[in-house]
Structure 1
């Protein structure tokens, strides 16, 4: 989707929209489902009304714990692209690893705000003496959860790094 012309964004990447198929003797196959929120990924926002319209659309079509910061608080002069899905993918991987999105802790805190936690990229990694995942996985997810969209990786970068991680950890 991201490499189509024009590129499309799914806009609702989350664990509930990922089907895992276990194949005997092979790595599980992940299949992205529910394309009801998909639309052309790239849009130019050039006014406050356009920004508010995008935010309203996102609140109706994108699951809050997985929604990119620029869809919560869109600037009046912004270029939105498919990297909103990369943010959601980072949140999804975190949720698959730990059973909760990286920002849902804010809902349980007194005065906590999911929106502020996301906009400020305040990731809360589970504490514990022994982490169940290698540090490289944390770096990978953190890379995807870059709050500035222009600094967030694109899908080709993600694929390249997944291949490197699979090679490293399958030996």
Structure 2
């Protein structure tokens, strides 16, 4: 198991000491349920001109014109994200991949891209309780909500991430 960082229930309380030390040319893969605090954390802790935050939600918004969750949008969203991340790492940028990433099969291509570019890969895993994720999801605008049954289904996936998957470091929040 990796380092444990206490993020409390609200990502807005994150202190500078809980921000992972940035290393040049690193891919940070955020892993957690919808509503677990990934986007809030990314926007608060990785706000820098040297870091590109690539968000599956923003890509989905750009390709469909809507933030509404739709399983059919997953493949094109991942393909666009892979291209953006590839180009950013080739340019020497640090990248944060902000998506649920709860399934190993979703992470493996991003890890390959990072390895191809000699970039470090750091997993930041959000172990937010399902009840908090559902509560936060219900507080979102209707367009940005993920169906609660999807969150519950996703919660059955293990968030015990193994470094042997290709991560240099695994951080649990």
More strand, by proportion:
2
Normalising by structure 2, we get a TM-score of 0.26
TM-score, scaled to structure 1? 0.26
Please tell me whether Structure 1 or Structure 2 has the larger radius of gyration of its CA atoms. 1
| Bigger RCO of structures 1 and 2 (CA < 8 A, at least 6 apart) | 2
